[in-house]
Amino acid sequence: MALEHAILVSLLERPASGYELARRFDRSIGRFWTATHQQIYRVLKRMEADGWVTAEEVGQDGRPDKRCWSAAPAGREALAGWLRAPVQPEAVRHELAVKIRGAAFADPAGRAALIAEVERYRADHRAVLASYLAGERRDFPDPADPDARAALQHVVLRGGIAYERMVLDWLDDVLTTLRDLDR
Amino acid sequence: MALEHAILVSLLERPASGYELARRFDRSIGRFWTATHQQIYRVLKRMEADGWVTAEEVGQDGRPDKRCWSAAPAGREALAGWLRAPVQPEAVRHELAVKIRGAAFADPAGRAALIAEVERYRADHRAVLASYLAGERRDFPDPADPDARAALQHVVLRGGIAYERMVLDWLDDVLTTLRDLDR
DNA sequence: CTTGCCTATGCAACTCGTTGCATAGCAGGA
DNA sequence: TCCTGCTATGCAACGAGTTGCATAGGCAAG
């Protein structure tokens, strides 16, 4: 249950409103930790009660007011303690792998539909890889990153890039295998 | 919500009791879809009510009786329909990536603890890769797989192997980056 | 002979996450 | 002018998943 900690990291990188956090969880942080605005608002409320974050009301013109959240000292301590704790084993849920094994029990028409779906899925991942590479060129043009924060953000992004490349190669393998079944 | 379908695939590959299914979800199927015995028993009950699976009481000597589940025709149809549906976008939850970005806000002692944890995590993944490779040698000695089921199981396993290799390479990158921070 | 482990199934309570909906002001286009 | 969409927050209900516990027989080690 690391949503609190993901929010703390994001707020330490830059204070934000719940809404802004939700958009970050659709983009940068969301690459490796997803969350909806509902979860974020609820957890922020709990974190405020625990003294992990503090809010500042910010009036804006032309827009609704917002509450800008920052990590409090107690939040920094909670994060430091969590960083020392062991990484929890991950709950893998790879729906496509289930479908591929299920294809053994489908007829040729069903397998053809799955091939089309795998192709669509592959196109999605190609687009994700392209956006990662564009983000890398934009945010990390210098190979030696100046500060710790950038170096760590960069290595996480390189992990995303490596993952997407691996997925694309594997999907080629999957497509070859599926096509060979009805050759 | 694909647990039903993962169970159907597993039962089509071989009928099993709830307990045996739970053990499969700790091993082969569990590589890409985790589930506890509680979920499995509850979902089996619902699937039985929907006519997707049927149970046969099997008396055993020296052991408690068990209920051996098989996929029913309605279950095969449900699976075929699901195979045609689009793959849902996955909810990524990569705790280690959050911790790595959080390391920017830790002191050198905290980062040292994280390095040790990453090394432990890497050793776990090395062990997983070794078990995948052993399973591949055991179950798929022939490069050209004879039937559809084996070919599809094999390509999913190759995905697991590619994933573990990618993770190991990335963790080396992570360790280098973390060590350079306090060089 | 007792303790712990394995097979085998299940209930109850809880937490986590998703979905649908609601409010409310402002901006821009048809 | 009305409709759509964006910012910004939140409630309520539901479904999925986890955790702790319970039962119950057999087996093996100490």
pLDDT of residue A143: 79
Amino acid identity for residue B9 in this structure: V
Q: What is the pLDDT of residues A78-117, one digit of tens each?
A: 999 999 999 988 888 999 999 999 999 999 999 999 999 9
Q: Does B144 touch chain A (CB under 8 A)?
A: no
Residues with CB under 7 A from strand D: A 17-20, 22-23, 37-38, 41-42, 44-45, 60, 63-67, 91, 93; B 1, 3, 34-36, 38-39, 62-64
Contact B182, B168 (CB under 8 A): no
The overall pTM is greater than 0.75:
yes
pLDDT of residue A61: 62
By Cβ distance, the residue of B94, B104, B159 closest to A148 is B104
pLDDT beyond 70 at A62: no
Q: What is the mean pLDDT of residues A27-48?
A: 93
Residue B63 CB lies within 7 Å of the nucleic strand C: yes
Amino acid identity for residue B77 in this structure: E
DSSP state of A87: P
Cα-Cα-Cα-Cα dihedral sign, residues B158, B160, B163, B165: negative
Angle between helices A95-102 and B148-181 (to 10 degrees): 160
pLDDT of residue B62: 64
Distance in angstroms (rounded) separating the CA atoms of residues A56 and A32 = 28
Q: Which residues of chain B have pLDDT under 70?
A: 60-64
Which residues are CB-neighbours of B21 under 8 A, at least 6 positions away?
B7, B10, B11, B40, B44, B69
Distance in angstroms (rounded) separating the CA atoms of residues A18 and A181 = 50
Distance in angstroms (rounded) separating the CA atoms of residues A181 and B151 = 8
CB atoms under 10 Å from CB of B62, counted, come to: 4
> Is B87 in a helix, a strand, or coil?
coil
Contact B9 A148 (CB under 8 A): no
Angle between helices A148-181 and B95-102 (to 10 degrees): 160
- Model confidence at A63, pLDDT cuts 50, 70, 90, reads low
Which residues from chain A sit within 8 angstroms of residue B102, using beta carbons?
5, 8-9, 12, 79, 82-83
pLDDT of residue B64: 67
pLDDT of residue B63: 67
Select from B21, B101, B164, B179 the residue whose CB has the most chain A CBs within 10 Å, as the one to mutate to test that interface.
B101
> What DSSP assignment string belongs to B2-25?
-HHHHHHHHHHHS-B-HHHHHHHT
Question: In strand C, which positions have an atom below 7 A from any protein CB?
Answer: 7-12, 15-20, 24-27
Backbone angles phi, psi at A55, to 5 degrees: -110, 150
Q: What is the pLDDT of residues B21-65, one digit of tens each?
A: 999 998 888 889 999 999 999 999 999 999 999 999 877 666 667
Distance in angstroms (rounded) separating the CA atoms of residues A24 and A27 = 5
Distance from CA of A73 to the nearest CA of B (A): 12
CB contacts under 8 A, A 57-116 vs B, are 76, 79-80, 82-84, 86-88, 90-107, 110, 113-114
Distance in angstroms (rounded) separating the CA atoms of residues A160 and A164 = 6
pLDDT of residue A144: 80
Q: What is the pLDDT of residues A116-162, one digit of tens each?
A: 999 999 999 999 999 999 999 999 998 787 899 999 999 999 999 99
